[in-house]
Amino acid sequence: MTPLVKAFFDEATNTVSYVARDPQSSACAIIDPVLDFDHASGRTNTASADIIISWITGQALTLDWVLESHVHADHLSAAPYLQEKLGGKIGIGANITVVQDTFGKVFNEGTEFQRDGSQFDALLSHGDSFHIGQMQADVLHTPGHTPACMTYVIGDAAFVGDTLFMPDFGTARCDFPGGSSAQLYASIQKILALPDETRIFVCHDYKAPGRDEFAWETTVGEQKALNVHIGNGRSIEDFTKMRDSRDATLGMPKLILPSLQVNMRAGQMPEPDEQGDVFLKLPINKI
């Protein structure tokens, strides 16, 4: 089964959102949609999500699922906005509860913030499968970048979230709370165990030395041979040493604090105050 895949690249956050479409029906799924957010003004904007909506409505497709590969730290999710406009269920990895527990404490959310994943329509576990029209989607738990990271394998296409990036860029960072480079290594082995011709769609691209165009599609075979961090049979010892020392040099993503507060709520803003105004927190010296 070969889904038709349409990519939407958001240059502001280097995020690639996808629509995976069943070639035999009108069913589709959106993976990792972006809600635009201007940090300086605190304003949200649905321009990026609206582009996806017009594409889906233009093709007369039915949205079955909005899938999150994980709780993103670099962009806000447009999942609730898309669901409101197009329907479908919002799914994420079952370990979202671990992420909610961690960041519920960081943001001092109190008891009204549920940490049971109930903000999402479906909590998915390793080995689960579901359908998008006639297409089967298989769920792999691929933690390391975060504890709740999932890879969605839809026919011959794997949406790997933040695990592998393009072969010339390497792999995702593992230094967020609950991250682990050893876990990421093991997770990547699960992806590399898929057939060599499996198409891999990455969640971010930042270009790479010697490459001046954004790119987001590769294959398992290319990753095995060429990935600069993990290809060519790199050992776990070499990988974790490289990953941990590199992570120690990285700054935090620009939108991490707003992103986590919104995305751990399935893309919803925190409850408004008595006046109906919505606020996000800025915890000091916590992350």
Q: Which residues bind Fe ion (CB under 5 A)?
A: 72, 162
Q: Which residues neighbour 262 within 8 Å (Cβ) at sequence distance 6 or greater?
A: 35, 76, 77, 268, 269, 280
| CB of 60 vs Fe ion, minimal distance in Å | 32
| CB of 176 vs Fe ion, minimal distance in Å | 8
Q: Which is nearer to Fe ion, 10 or 162 (CB)?
A: 162
> Do 177 and 171 contact (CB within 8 A), yes or no?
no
Closest to 30 (Cα-Cα) out of 140, 132, 125, 127 = 132
Q: Which is nearer to Fe ion, 109 or 162 (CB)?
A: 162
What percentage of the chain's residues is helix, strand, coil (to nearest 5)? 25, 25, 50
Antiparallel, parallel or unpaired: β 27-31 and 34-38: unpaired
Q: Which is nearer to Fe ion, 56 or 66 (CB)?
A: 66
d(CA 192, CA 76): 29
Residue nearest to Fe ion (CB): 162
| CB of 134 vs Fe ion, minimal distance in Å | 30
Q: Which is nearer to Fe ion, 36 or 162 (CB)?
A: 162
Identify residue 142 by its one-letter amino acid code.
T
| CB of 259 vs Fe ion, minimal distance in Å | 9
Q: What are the structure tokens assigned to 270, written together?
A: 């925190």
For the four alpha carbons of 272, 274, 276 and 280, in that order, the dihedral sign comes to: negative
Q: Following DSSP, what letter does each residue of 144-211 receive, concatenated?
A: SSSTT-EEEEETTEEE--SSB--TTT-B----STT--HHHHHHHHHHHHTS-TT-EEE-SB---BTTB
Q: What are the structure tokens assigned to 33, written together?
A: 């949609």
d(CA 93, CA 95): 5
Q: Which is nearer to Fe ion, 64 or 162 (CB)?
A: 162
Q: Which is nearer to Fe ion, 198 or 263 (CB)?
A: 263
| CB of 207 vs Fe ion, minimal distance in Å | 18
Q: Which is nearer to Fe ion, 72 or 199 (CB)?
A: 72
| CB of 161 vs Fe ion, minimal distance in Å | 7
| CB of 75 vs Fe ion, minimal distance in Å | 9
Q: Which is nearer to Fe ion, 115 or 173 (CB)?
A: 173
| CB of 250 vs Fe ion, minimal distance in Å | 12
d(CA 46, CA 44): 7
d(CA 22, CA 135): 6
